[in-house]
Amino acid sequence: MKPHWINVVRATGLVTFREILRDKLLYNIVLFAILVFGAALLAAQLTHIQPERLLIDLGLSGIAISGGMIAILAGSGLLHREVERRTIHLALSRPVSRPIFLLGKFTGLSGIIALNWLLLSAALLAMTAIFAAASGMNIGTVIFSPTLFLALIFLLMQSLLLGSMTVFFSTFSTPSLSVIFSFGIYLVGVNTAELRFAAEKIGPSLPASLLNGLALVLPSFERFAPGTRVTYDLPFGFQEAAGIFIYGLALISMFLAATGLLIRKREI
């Protein structure tokens, strides 16, 4: 027999998954990703220098943007909707702790993020395979690339991290502020190398120390970006790939733990 908390997480996650799935915002984001894919296909047809790599690069960008938008926009209202509709009182009136309820909500959000990632990843691979076949390329070498596989996995982890961070902000701020905080930190997090470079150019000073501090403290989302690795099919080392995976998992766990502590003290 499964422990009670697992059943609660599963039931809460399923309800959350269905709620987000009915949201029109989700389909608008998916439509945007499809438009990015269409633009990527058109751009690939207009170039003669590694067109399949350009298609994959732009497609990965579409997956990253779509997953990030779902994580931030859906995650910002995850708890707010429950409080506003007072459905959280019904859930917590049963022998359910707030952290377990939160874990169930995040599980549902993660399911939506994973479903979006799976569908868009499959669409990108199918488009790339068709394009490679039409161009007379070896489909296997283009599609079955360990670098491409890991890049897709890291993009999924990036979206889950964004979701956990947004839910964390939503426990003590409004949905609008949660979106602003998450988006702002993401923009800084994808440019941590530039922050360190700017600090190095400035030289030893207070502004340089602040820039280095930001680069050290804020989540480094650029770790999950495939960059030119996929373009040139450069392999990930085992230690590097494991380090990125552990880094993302640790940050997700940290944000969820902090959210669990905050939601215990919040008056609902």
Cα Rg for the chain, rounded, in angstroms? 20
Every domain of the chain and the residues it spans: 4-190+225-265
Per-residue pLDDT tens, the chain, 268 aa: give them: 445 667 778 888 898 888 888 887 777 777 877 788 777 777 767 666 667 777 888 888 889 989 999 999 999 888 777 766 666 656 665 666 778 888 888 999 999 999 999 988 988 888 888 777 776 666 666 677 888 899 999 999 999 999 999 999 988 888 899 999 999 999 988 888 888 878 788 877 777 788 778 778 889 898 898 777 777 777 888 898 999 999 999 999 999 999 988 887 765 5
Can you tell me the distance from the alpha carbon of 99 to that of 101, in angstroms, rounded to the nearest whole number?
A: 5
CA end-to-end distance (rounded Å), the chain: 32
